[in-house]
């Protein structure tokens, strides 16, 4: 009964469907879309994209039959069994994100896989899943996970599965989409699982489920049913009792989606995409390279999705991923009736029609082209005050008025001859017409007289590309030799030497404030105000250094053309840059994905673009006239989420969460980041800084990595921010802490250890120094004692010699003198006493000499050190001990006041031999070397034990010798063996011989 009712209603309503069916708009400015493709050549692992989802963090995910794919706009990251533990199959199909941020992925043979916190975990039939083929995943009204498998519908709760419904026809069961709950069907009925209740709706008639290929419930609750045999149905409120609305689209429907604007999108097996706009379907078909059945089948759309920025994405059976970009540029070319695709100039006449120079000329009026072959090799267009059209080109100048052409070129030919080219025509306010040519600037006055201005007259260059008249009537002339201003009398020139960025000037624009904007062929844009130029190039954010035309829209943007496409920059940013408020400007570029057939624009012939009365901008290109409505260009207001993805330390991957730790000795750091904006991701811009190392932002352009060859030990903050293609910045960006661990010798504990060690070492050195000083003090005291003892012994010796020798001699002399006085009458006895007095006096005199010699030998002062030592040795030689010696001449080798110490060293050695050695033979060798004097004293005496030297007796003598040697900083050595004699070796530093 129900099926019969549906059939009857279909017969009544199909005409209504026709009335709101597909409409192919004839308006050339209707919305058009460009399909950007991504496939295995772009990084996809396989070209069947079965499901598309943008997760809460901003990443895109795609399911393919060879892995799950994450996409950031620049690169694809593939997760599969080879690189991701927890994945059991690479054949992914369905996908769903739950409220807690977990990503659920259904596979064809590996069960259900969950991705959360960077880890994968799979559930299979072994864990209670009804079947390992998971066809769909959805959420119910309570946020719990609904899973449709090959043979049952289940609910996952606390990681356990509860079977809600077993399918009677598993091989013929299909699933649809719903905001909450689940739709599915087989060849016998339609089913809806909602609020835990399973509804069953019978099949039949127009809604025979045998042919149903798609079911989609929109946010209003309406149910859309697509059939594989053609036709699309809508059930209001999902009520199978309600009237059935039919749309006669003869397609095999394969997917459906509702965007945020409420529009319904439908994909088909042929690759056609339909969107329902204002109750009318618009068909979007990607141009096909092949029309074979395999190619058409491969383009079938099996998934549709809209991202947060409003872009529609489609997954295909075998042709990868498609991104739909609305084309903001409409191109009029030969397919629309233009006479030629290579457009050189575009002019809007005061009456509103558009004239296009494209080798010949075409007039565009009321949506149609009229072509004129009479104008050949046309370059330049202009309208004079009478509304006549002037057309300039190679060796020619034409006028067009009242649908008639007239040859106006004779005055030019007379002036220039042949082989001239007219690039610009400017009728001025005084009634003159000016021409920019390849041979100079020409003025044609109202009387037909001509005058040529060239560099000889002061013009900046003879190749004149553009002429502009300012409010004062001065002409600004752009040439390939610079910019000239002409006041009717003389030229003032501007070029690279006085501030212009480049000499090949192609465009001049004066804005409402009187600021001039000058474009060059390949050296960027110039702002001229108050006699000063500001230059803008790609180095400061300009998209391209070619500026062929400058047009300002109503929003304050400057639109420019170049060899690489059309681009715009906010004039406010250009002003801020000139004022020093910002370091870079943001350019938004438009190319083929925006509708251009050829990105190469033409310039250097005028007008190289025009802003028409309706606000649209027209630019000449190599393949048609490009038309843009700036008011229809939407600005992406969403700042892109910024993610720091990975880090490499010395080219090895490093794990991190909020903090990246770098071990000591690691130098090379690479940080990879991204921004999740998918509208022209190649134009997303980044800047970053490592706070603590350099607090200035690094302008990275579109590079998604930061490099540091060396970061000193310390704690830093790495920050990165990004702007979308429209220059909207995410100023918060992303941040991680970077901790570079110092080597152990730069740690605080090592520094403390070093300080303590230094303190300890200093304490040890101090104590040792004190001990050394104490020992030196003790040695000095001992030496002083020995010196005093030596002096006392000398005094005793001298006293004894005086008492025993000289004293006794004087007593004898005294006594003999007394006796002589008492023996006056006995002369003979008196003479004897006098003779004895004389002998005693002689002996006393000899003793005085000996005492004097011992105190300081006179030979040392009169004969020198060598002779003094020889004299002393001769005197020491006796029958008891024979001294043999061999002495080099050493006079002058020592300072005069030090020679006595050398003498005493030898003297004390000789005294020791005489007094203690009991030697019969002693040998003394004094050798004069280049910088030293070496003394060797050897005897054959009784010797002694060198370990038992004492500070008296013989030991005192040796110590005295050692002390005197130390005064010289010399070397003293003694070798002795009991019973075998003694050898003393002394080496004294001396003056060079």
Q: What CATH number was assigned to the domain covering residues 642-742? A: 2.60.40.10
Of all helices (H) and strands (E), which one includes residue 193?
strand 189-194
Looking at per-residue pLDDT, the higher value among 253 and 768 belongs to: 253
Q: For residue 184, what are the β-bridge partners?
A: 175, 191
For the ranges 10-14, 153-157, 723-727, which has the lowest average pLDDT? 10-14
Looking at per-residue pLDDT, the higher value among 729 and 11 belongs to: 729
The whole-number pLDDT of residue 78 equals: 98
337: left (phi over 0), alpha (psi -120 to 50) or beta: left
**CATH tag for 2-28+42-252 (out of 3.40.190.10, 2.130.10.10, 2.40.160.20, 3.30.450.20):** 2.130.10.10
The whole-number pLDDT of residue 788 equals: 46
Q: Yes or no: say if 203 and 189 are a contact pair by the CB < 8 Å rule.
A: yes
Q: Yes or no: say if 571 and 596 are a contact pair by the CB < 8 Å rule.
A: no
Task: Please compute the mean of the pLDDT values over residues 326-343 and round it to a whole number.
Answer: 95
* pLDDT band at residue 409 using 50, 70 and 90 as cut-offs: very high
Which tens digit of pLDDT belongs to each residue from 721-745? 999 999 999 999 999 999 999 987 7
Whole-angstrom distance, CA of residue 328 vs CA of residue 839: 147
- Sign of the four-CA dihedral 319, 321, 323, 329: negative
Q: Yes or no: say if 357 and 394 are a contact pair by the CB < 8 Å rule.
A: no
Of 159-173, 206-220, 258-272, 865-879, where does the model show the most confidence? 258-272
In the numeric block, which tokens belong to residue 549? Answer: 């035309």
Does domain 860-993 bear CATH number 3.30.565.10?
yes
For the ranges 194-203, 837-846, 889-898, which has the lowest average pLDDT? 837-846
* pLDDT band at residue 242 using 50, 70 and 90 as cut-offs: confident
| pLDDT at residue 5 tops 50 | no
C-alpha distances in Å from residue 328, one per residue of 594, 617, 662, 799, 968: 6, 11, 48, 131, 102
Residue 10, SS3 per DSSP? helix
Q: What's the whole-model pTM score? A: 0.74
Which tens digit of pLDDT belongs to each residue from 119-136? 999 999 988 899 999 999
* pLDDT band at residue 11 using 50, 70 and 90 as cut-offs: very low
Average pLDDT across the chain, whole number: 88
DSSP string, 895-955: -GGGHHHHHHHHHHHHHHIIIII--SEEEEEEEE-SSEEEEEEEE-S----GGG--SSHHH
Beta strand 389-393 pairing with 378-383: antiparallel
Looking at per-residue pLDDT, the higher value among 416 and 957 belongs to: 416
The whole-number pLDDT of residue 292 equals: 52
Q: Interhelix angle for 865-876 vs 899-912, to 10°? A: 10
The whole-number pLDDT of residue 774 equals: 81
Which of 454, 545, 538, 552 is CA-nearest to residue 502?
Answer: 545
Which of 282, 384, 378, 281 is CA-nearest to residue 326?
Answer: 282
For the ranges 112-126, 218-232, 866-880, which has the lowest average pLDDT? 866-880
Which tens digit of pLDDT belongs to each residue from 184-193? 999 889 999 8
The whole-number pLDDT of residue 208 equals: 85
* pLDDT band at residue 71 using 50, 70 and 90 as cut-offs: very high
- How far, rounded to the nearest angstrom, does the alpha carbon of residue 365 sit from its chain's CA centroid? 53
C-alpha distances in Å from residue 477, one per residue of 288, 469, 470: 48, 9, 11
The whole-number pLDDT of residue 7 equals: 34
Q: Residues of the chain with pLDDT > 70: what percent?
A: 87
The whole-number pLDDT of residue 823 equals: 56
């Amino acid at each position: 009964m129900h099926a019969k009712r549906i059939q009857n209603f279909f017969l009544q309503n199909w005409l209504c469907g026709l009335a709101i069916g597909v409409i192919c708009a004839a308006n050339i400015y209707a919305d058009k879309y460009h399909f950007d493709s991504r496939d295995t050549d772009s990084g996809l692992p396989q070209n069947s994209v079965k499901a598309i989802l943008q997760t809460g963090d901003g990443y895109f995910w795609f399911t393919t039959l060879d892995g799950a794919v994450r996409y950031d706009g620049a690169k694809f990251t593939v997760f599969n069994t080879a690189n991701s533990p927890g994945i059991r199959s690479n054949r992914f199909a369905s996908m769903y994100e739950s409220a807690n941020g977990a990503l659920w992925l259904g596979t064809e043979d590996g069960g259900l896989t969950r991705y959360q916190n960077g880890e994968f975990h799979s559930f299979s039939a072994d864990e209670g899943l009804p079947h390992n083929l998971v066809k769909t995943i959805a959420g119910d009204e309570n946020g719990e996970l609904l899973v449709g498998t090959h043979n049952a519908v289940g609910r996952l709760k606390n990681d356990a599965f509860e079977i809600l419904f077993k399918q009677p026809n598993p091989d013929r069961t299909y699933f649809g989409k719903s905001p909450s709950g689940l739709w599915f069907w087989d060849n016998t009925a339609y089913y809806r699982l909602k609020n835990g209740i399973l509804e069953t709706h019978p099949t039949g008639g127009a809604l025979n489920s045998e042919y149903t290929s798609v079911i989609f419930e929109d946010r209003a609750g309406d149910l859309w049913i697509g059939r594989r045999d053609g036709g699309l149905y809508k059930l209001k409120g999902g009520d199978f009792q309600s009237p059935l609305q039919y749309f006669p689209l003869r397609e095999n429907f394969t997917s459906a989606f509702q965007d945020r604007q409420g529009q319904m999108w439908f994909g088909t097996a042929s690759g056609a995409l339909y969107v329902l706009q204002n109750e009318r379907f618009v068909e979007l078909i990607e141009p096909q390279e092949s029309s074979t059945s395999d190619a058409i089948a491969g383009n079938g759309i099996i998934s549709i999705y809209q991202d947060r920025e409003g872009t529609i994405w489609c997954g295909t059976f075998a042709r990868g991923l498609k991104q739909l970009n609305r084309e903001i540029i409409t191109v009029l070319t030969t397919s629309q009736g233009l006479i030629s695709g290579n457009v050189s100039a575009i002019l809007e006449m005061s009456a509103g029609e558009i004239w296009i120079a494209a080798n010949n000329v075409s007039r565009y009026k009321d949506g149609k082209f009229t072509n004129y072959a009479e104008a050949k090799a046309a370059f330049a267009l202009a309208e004079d005050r009478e509304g006549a059209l002037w057309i300039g080109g190679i060796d020619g100048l034409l006028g067009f008025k009242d649908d008639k052409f007239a040859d106006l070129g004779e005055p030019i030919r007379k002036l220039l001859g042949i082989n001239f080219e007219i690039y610009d025509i400017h009728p001025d306010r005084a009634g003159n017409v000016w021409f920019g040519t390849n041979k100079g600037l020409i003025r044609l006055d109202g009387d037909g007289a001509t005058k040529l201005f060239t560099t000889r007259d002061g013009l900046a260059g003879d190749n004149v590309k553009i002429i502009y008249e300012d409010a004062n009537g001065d002409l600004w002339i752009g040439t390939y030799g610079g910019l000239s201003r002409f006041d009717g009398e003389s030229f003032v020139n501007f070029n690279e030497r006085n501030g212009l960025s480049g000499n090949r000037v192609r465009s001049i624009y004066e804005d409402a404030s009187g600021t001039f904007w000058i474009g060059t062929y390949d050296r960027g844009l110039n702002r001229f105000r108050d006699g000063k130029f500001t230059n803008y190039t790609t180095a400061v954010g300009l998209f391209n250094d070619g500026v062929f035309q400058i047009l300002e829209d109503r929003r304050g943007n400057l639109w420019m053309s170049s060899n690489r496409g059309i681009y715009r920059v906010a004039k406010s940013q250009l002003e801020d840059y000139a004022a020093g408020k910002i370091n870079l400007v943001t350019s938004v570029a438009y190319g083929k994905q925006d509708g251009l057939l050829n990105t190469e624009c033409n310039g250097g012939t005028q007008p190289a673009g025009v802003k028409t009365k309706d606000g649209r901008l027209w630019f000449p290109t190599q393949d048609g006239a490009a038309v843009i409505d700036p008011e229809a260009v939407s600005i992406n207001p969403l700042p892109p989420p910024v993610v720091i993805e990975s880090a490499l330390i010395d080219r090895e991957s490093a794990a991190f969460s909020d903090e990246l730790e770098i071990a000591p000795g690691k130098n090379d750091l690479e940080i990879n980041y991204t921004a999740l904006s998918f509208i022209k991701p190649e134009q997303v811009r980044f800047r970053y800084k490592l706070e603590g190392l350099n607090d200035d932002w690094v302008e990275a352009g579109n590079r998604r990595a930061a490099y540091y060859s060396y970061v000193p030990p310390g704690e830093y903050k790495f920050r990165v921010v990004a702007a979308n293609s429209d220059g909207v910045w995410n100023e918060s960006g992303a941040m991680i802490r970077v901790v570079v661990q110092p080597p152990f010798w730069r740690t605080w504990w090592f520094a403390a250890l070093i300080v303590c060690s230094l303190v300890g070492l200093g304490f040890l050195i101090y104590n040792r120094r004190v001990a050394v000083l104490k020992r030196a003090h003790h040695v000095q005291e001992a030496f002083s004692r020995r010196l005093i003892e030596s002096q006392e012994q000398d005094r005793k010796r001298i006293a004894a010699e005086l008492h025993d020798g000289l004293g006794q001699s004087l007593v004898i002399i005294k006594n003999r003198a007394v006796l002589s006085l008492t023996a006056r009458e006995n002369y003979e006895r008196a003479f004897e006493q006098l003779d004895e007095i004389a002998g005693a006096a002689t002996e006393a005199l000899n003793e005085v000499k000996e005492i004097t010699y011992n105190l300081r030998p006179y030979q040392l002062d009169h004969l020198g050190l060598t002779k003094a030592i020889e004299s002393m040795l001769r005197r020491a030689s006796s029958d008891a001990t024979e001294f043999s010696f061999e002495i080099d001449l050493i006079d002058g080798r020592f300072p005069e006041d030090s020679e006595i110490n050398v003498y005493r060293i030898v003297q004390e050695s000789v005294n020791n031999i005489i007094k203690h050695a009991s030697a019969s033979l002693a040998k003394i060798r004094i050798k004069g070397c280049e910088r030293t004097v070496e003394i060797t004293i050897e005897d054959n005496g009784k010797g002694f034990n060198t370990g038992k030297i004492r500070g008296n007796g013989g030991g005192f003598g040796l110590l005295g010798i050692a002390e005197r040697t130390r005064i010289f900083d010399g070397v003293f050595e003694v070798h002795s063996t009991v019973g075998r004699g003694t050898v003393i070796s002394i080496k004294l530093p001396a003056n060079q011989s």
